[in-house]
Amino acid sequence: MAVVTNEVAVADMRRLGNAEPLEPYPGNARKPWACRCLNDGCGLIIYPNRNNVMNGQGACKYCAPNAPINPAAAAAAMRDHGFATLVPFPGTGKPWLSKCAAVDHLVAPRYDNTTRRGGKCRFCTHHGPGDPKQAVADMKSAGFTPLEPYRNVGTPWTSLCNSCGTIVSPNLNNVRTRGRCCPRCATYGLNPAAPAWLYVMAHMVFGAVKIGITGRTTRENRIARLQGSGWALMRTWPFDTGSGAYRIEQIVLKRLRAQGHGPHLPAQRMPAGGWTETFDAASVTAEALCGLVGDALTKPPV
């Protein structure tokens, strides 16, 4: 078999594959060869082999009639439709974990629905962002006086509770769906004298762990709500009273703060609250956080 020179191989790739080699011919017709596609509107870096090109299969797989979707192009298309993708491209018909650029919520749209049918964030479709004047009116009707301009339905909105005078930060979506939701006034909040859970959770996408407390007989299932936002429950501890759970939580938080661990997530990531009890999972693992709870239960400070 005749040895193919670099000059001949380059000329064949340009003539038959319409691709410009970016490195010398590897010397083997079946080895991938870094090239740039010269087809109009493409220009991608591709890795065809000379054998396929000489057999008429074409050089660029992304320009073929049954071409696969280029992951980078797919992510760019999702951005154009208002989604920031958070994981690698899973395929055209599968849910793609993303963040809505409008309200910062986690969503999972499908690429084909979004690009071919103009799919939009379901949260925004149902809840806003809406008219700023109507947003202010809804907050006032729920008993809050906004203290800053409206941004969107999912962002914590610093407001004054007209009933108890507390400055709180509910988001408009919670206000619209739950009504009056001041943590001090709400009947579904933690009752210090009622049974409670102390819990530790983790979020793989955010790289965060969280400690928290919730009532065992309250209207709001705090743990279930966090699970619906991508948090995984690691462990729970039952307490006879909410005050007992709160005391252990504060011991753990105080020890972590003394070690220099501050909140890992901003308030925008936790629209329902609790962001100050989040920590970087790279420095405070879920196992370590559970261990701190165990130490606080067995060796509380004097």
Secondary structure of the chain in HEC code, one letter for each residue: CCCCCHHHHHHHHHHHHCEEECCCCCCCCCCCCCEEECCCCCCCEECCCHHHHHCCCCCCHHHCCCCCCCHHHHHHHHHHCCEEECCCCCCCCCECCEEECCCCCEECCEHHHHHHHCCCCHHHHHHCCCCHHHHHHHHHHCCEEECCCCCCCCCCCCEEECCCCCEECCCHHHHHHHCCCCCCCCCCCCCCCCCEEEEEEEECCCCEEEEEEEECCCCCCHHHHHHCCCCEEEEEEEECCHHHHHHHHHHHHHHHHHCCCCCCCCHHHCCCCCHHHEEECCCCCHHHHHHHHHHHHHCCCC
| Residue ranges for the chain with pLDDT beneath 50 | 187-188, 302
**pLDDT at residue 187, as a whole number:** 42
**pLDDT at residue 21, as a whole number:** 93
What pLDDT digit, counting tens, does each position of 103-148 carry? 666 788 888 888 776 767 776 666 555 677 888 888 888 889 999 8
**pLDDT at residue 188, as a whole number:** 44
**pLDDT at residue 103, as a whole number:** 64
**pLDDT at residue 266, as a whole number:** 80
What pLDDT digit, counting tens, does each position of 141-166 carry? 888 999 988 877 767 888 888 877 77
**pLDDT at residue 287, as a whole number:** 94
